[in-house]
């Protein structure tokens, strides 16, 4: 019955909705500060400084709802998380995931940093952007018309400009014949037009959305980011913390395959997103852009061992990821100051690394 797309989407959406509400109920609460202050300004019809003032769509959607401000943002954020769950289920079905692989991918998503954070820190612009990103990944697999992709990317930039990460993902899949997006299905001239006009829309729209004199000056690599994150080592650990052990599963799967169409697009996009973390203080939120790659390849790693009937490894990997998620993502505000929580997360990560290394040299081709 779950083979029918509508039923699969609906069931996945309901599971995502229940899980998001659970995170909201039991996760550590966030007050309205930082970015949220600017999105509240937009919600109230005021002007916010750049770059937040450009991200008008999420506050606008929230303002259309009939309840109070916090509830309205909650509805937008939580439904975005639930809808992504449904879209990921359809995506897994489209790219040929087995049912077990699909379940594992959905599990990784619902226990991820992005899911937990945006289900609790609800006054943010990112959730609908991540939904747009998942939808674009899915639609590109069906090779929808390039104009459709262009329009959706352009609209996506009004939620958050980070949706533009789709453009290098499409190009990398085209160049390396990758299969995560449908980039390989499009002609070079189509991708060129999508890229140029998406960027043109971004630039032109910003002249109409905000007084250019309020714009934040963008500079190159800023050493103060490393000062904020605590140095290069801590910065790398923050990048890892966006996913936990599933990032290790993903990396071991990618490099165990040694296939150009897998390694090329993933390494290319990982490099781009990693570089982008040096332009923003919130490292984890930038790294969250890789979520489809990481959860898809991480689930593939687990599926191989499931297929080989290595159930002990499968259970261990899933439990370790679940423990890491509960320890880190359920305590996002207090985790860094708790030595006990840090120790548990480190043990789960080290155990995952040791297990992955111990079986890396086996023949694990898909």
Q: Alpha-carbon distance 105 to 174, whole Å?
A: 24
Asked if residue 12 lies in contact with residue 103, where contact means CB atoms within 8 angstroms, the answer is: no
CA distance 26 to 287: 24
Query: What number of other Cβ atoms are within 10 A of residue 239's Cβ?
Result: 20
Q: How confident is the model at residue 218 (pLDDT cuts 50, 70, 90)?
A: very low
pLDDT score of 219: 43
Give the percent of the chain with pLDDT over 90.
78
3-state secondary structure of 242: coil
- Which pLDDT score, from 0 to 100, does residue 228 have? 72
**pTM here?**
0.93
Contact 49, 212 (CB under 8 A): no
The residue among 246 and 50 whose pLDDT is bigger is 246
CA–CA distance, 153 with 150 (Å, rounded to integer): 5
Once rounded to an integer, what is the mean pLDDT over residues 154-181? 96
Q: 27 or 156: whose pLDDT is higher? A: 156
CA angle 289, 291, 294 (to 5 degrees): 130
Q: What is the DSSP letter of 57?
A: H
- CA dist 48 and 63 (Å) reads 16
Q: What per-residue confidence (pLDDT) applies to 50? A: 84
What pLDDT digit, counting tens, does each position of 299-316 carry?
Answer: 999 999 999 899 999 999
Q: According to the model, what pLDDT value does residue 213 have?
A: 41
Lowest-pLDDT range of 8-12, 181-185, 331-335: 331-335
Q: Taking a C-beta distance cutoff of 8 angstroms, is the pair 173, 265 a contact?
A: yes
**pLDDT at residue 210, as a whole number:** 60
Q: What is the pLDDT of residues 52-76, one digit of tens each?
A: 999 999 999 999 999 999 999 999 9
- Closest C-alpha among 206, 213, 155 to residue 53: 206
Mean pLDDT of 122-150: 96
Kindly report which listed range (29-38, 198-207, 243-252, 323-332) carries the lowest average pLDDT score: 29-38
- Burial (CB < 10 A; 0-12, 13-18, 19+), residue 226, is middle
Residue 282, pLDDT score? 87
Average pLDDT of the chain, as a whole number: 91
Q: What is the pLDDT of residue 354?
A: 95
Give me the count of residues in the chain: 366
3-state secondary structure of 286: helix
Average of per-residue pLDDT across 249-278: 94
């Amino acid at each position: 019955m779950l083979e029918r797309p509508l039923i699969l989407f609906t069931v996945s959406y309901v599971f995502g909705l229940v899980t998001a509400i659970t995170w909201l109920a039991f996760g550590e609460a966030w007050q309205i500060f930082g970015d949220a202050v600017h999105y509240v300004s937009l919600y109230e019809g005021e002007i916010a400084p750049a770059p937040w003032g450009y991200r008008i769509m999420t506050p606008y959607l929230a303002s259309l709802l009939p309840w109070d401000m916090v509830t309205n943002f909650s509805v937008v954020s939580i439904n975005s998380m639930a809808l992504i769950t449904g879209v990921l289920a359809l995506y897994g079905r489209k790219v040929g995931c087995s049912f077990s692989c699909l379940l594992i991918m959905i599990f990784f998503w619902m226990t991820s940093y992005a899911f937990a954070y945006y289900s609790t820190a609800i006054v943010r612009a990112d959730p609908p952007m991540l939904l747009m990103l998942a939808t674009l990944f899915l639609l590109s697999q069906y090779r929808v018309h390039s104009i459709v992709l262009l329009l959706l990317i352009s609209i996506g930039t009004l939620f958050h400009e980070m949706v533009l990460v789709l453009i290098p993902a499409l190009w990398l899949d085209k160049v390396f014949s990758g299969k995560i997006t449908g980039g390989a299905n499009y002609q070079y001239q189509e991708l060129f037009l999508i890229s140029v006009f998406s960027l043109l829309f971004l630039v032109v729209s910003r002249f109409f959305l905000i007084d250019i004199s309020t714009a934040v000056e963008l500079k190159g690599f800023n050493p103060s980011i490393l000062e904020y994150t605590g140095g290069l080592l801590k910065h790398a650990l923050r990048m890892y913390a966006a996913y936990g052990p599933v990032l290790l599963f993903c990396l071991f799967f990618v490099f165990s395959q040694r296939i150009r169409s897998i390694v090329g697009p993933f390494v290319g996009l990982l490099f781009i997103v990693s570089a982008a973390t040096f332009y923003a203080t919130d490292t984890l939120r930038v790294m969250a852009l890789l979520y489809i790659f990481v959860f898809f390849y991480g689930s593939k790693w687990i599926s191989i061992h499931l297929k080989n009937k290595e159930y002990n490894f499968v259970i261990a990997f899933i439990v370790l990821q679940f423990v890491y998620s509960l320890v880190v993502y359920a305590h996002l505000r207090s985790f860094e100051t708790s030595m006990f929580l840090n120790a548990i997360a480190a043990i789960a990560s080290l155990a995952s690394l040791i297990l992955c290394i111990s079986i890396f040299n086996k023949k694990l081709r898909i």
